[in-house]
Amino acid sequence: MVTEVYLDHNASSPLAPVAWRAMQPFLRGFVGNASSVHAAGRRARAALDRARAVIASAIHASPHELVFTSGGTESNVLALTGYCAANPTARLIVGGTEHPCVVKTADALAKRGTDVRRLAVDAYGRIDVEDVPRQLDARPALVSAQVSNHELGTIQPIRTIADAARSRGAKVHADAVAAFGKIPIDVDQLGVDMLSLSAHKIGGPVGIGALYVRGGTSLEPQMHGGSQEHGLRAGTEAVALAVGFAAAVESAVRIRERVAAKHARLRRRLLARLRTHNISFVENSPRADVVANTLNLAFAGADRESLLIQLDLAGVRVSAGAACASGSIEPSPVLLACGLDESRTRCALRVSFGPSTSEQHVDLFVDALGPALQRARIAHENF
């Protein structure tokens, strides 16, 4: 009997059993710093090197191009801030619907004097590729865009964006946190110079991520100290987390196509059952060029905070957008950037599936949604 319906995998996906098992030897009784030269240190280094090779292989990169970080946010911050620090006259160009850690990093850099530009997007958050060369000039530049959007699931034409940027001498960074493990990622096919990853979105442990840095990309470290991570990220490496990350990556890549097909079926089932139950909604997510696990829906007349509370009381866990923006009563910046009116953004929910999501989870969500909408609309009318 399902007692909890967890449909917030874009915020965090449960630790995969395979990752937990892989980490156990390094959490119980194992002692060793990967920078130490003695036998324990060499064992730690060997485990770290194996993990790095597994993750690099999954994105068709070389192990020496992969820098371990504390997660997707640090990877994005290192890419943007590190590049601008190494290239003080550079212009930073970011997509119009990026994750808050990219948006706020860009804002912070702008306050320090960096020339920051935003790329125009359409109603589904897809970047206007023709806007890329318009934002470039003779100075160095970094173009940063998500592979897929964390709220809408929209897949960006990264290769086309990269071609346009690199033809003008610009470097390209892609945030693949929401896409990795769900669609194929190949840094050469994408044409990117940097790419951000996170473990806990694909069943790995919280607290570790990675940044791919193509050779020849100038980057200033943002954490200083030892020479770990090719001199780009000081601090003792978290061997257990890296091992768990690698195990989750191997599992995600192995089951990726099967899970994506299941998510596409669940997506169709959810939409069909909403119609069967006469629940009025609007799809904010696109129907094509979208990651199958992510669906953003608007329910007119229902305040999203009230709706989230009602669903939570019924045991259904969904979200209104990025987890790091939770608690905010402001409209979603992603949906506003897409040109949606504020009233539609205030009644929007994000549903995101994971490998364990079943038809029963979808059915229970829809069954709980009708009563939750009624109560949320009454609360909104009485507010």
Mean pLDDT of the chain: 94
Q: What is the pLDDT of residues 232-265, one digit of tens each?
A: 999 999 999 999 999 999 999 999 999 999 999 9
**pLDDT-derived band at 381, boundaries 50, 70, 90:** low
Domain range summary for the chain, segments of one domain joined by +: 5-12+256-382, 17-250
State the average pLDDT over residues 210-226: 95
- The Cα 329–Cα 344 span in angstroms is 14
Q: How confident is the model at residue 201 (pLDDT cuts 50, 70, 90)?
A: very high
Quick one: residue 92, left, alpha or beta (phi over 0 = left, psi -120 to 50 = alpha)? Answer: beta
* DSSP string of 14-25, one letter each residue: PPPHHHHHHHHH
pTM of the predicted model as reported, rounded to 2 decimal places:
0.95
pLDDT value, residue 307? 94
pLDDT-based confidence at residue 278 (cuts at 50, 70, 90):
very high
pLDDT exceeds cutoff 50 at 138: yes
Active-site entry in 84, 101, 324, 347: 324
The average pLDDT across 54-83 equals: 98
Q: What is the pLDDT of residues 157-199, one digit of tens each?
A: 999 999 999 999 999 999 999 999 999 999 999 999 999 999 9
Note the pLDDT tens digit of each residue in 285-322: 999 999 999 999 999 988 889 999 999 999 999 998 76
- Cβ–Cβ contacts within 10 Å for residue 64, how many? 12
The mean per-residue pLDDT over the stretch 98-116 comes to 97
Amino acid sitting at position 301: G
CA separation for the pair 273, 370 (Å, rounded) = 11
pLDDT level of residue 376 (50, 70, 90 thresholds): confident
Pick the CATH number of 5-12+256-382 from 3.30.9.10, 3.90.1150.10, 3.40.1640.10, 3.40.50.620: 3.90.1150.10
Same fold, 5-12+256-382 and 17-250: no
Q: How confident is the model at residue 383 (pLDDT cuts 50, 70, 90)?
A: very low
- 338 has catalytic annotation: no
SS (H, E, C) 319-351: ECCCHHHCCCCCCCHHHHHCCCCHHHHCCEEEE
- Please give the average per-residue pLDDT across 46-61, as a whole number: 98
pLDDT at 36 over 60: yes
Cβ proximity of 256 and 248 under 8 Å:
no
Does the domain at 17-250 match CATH 3.40.640.10? Answer given as yes
Task: Please determine, for residue 326, whether its predicted confidence score (pLDDT) is greater than 60.
Answer: no
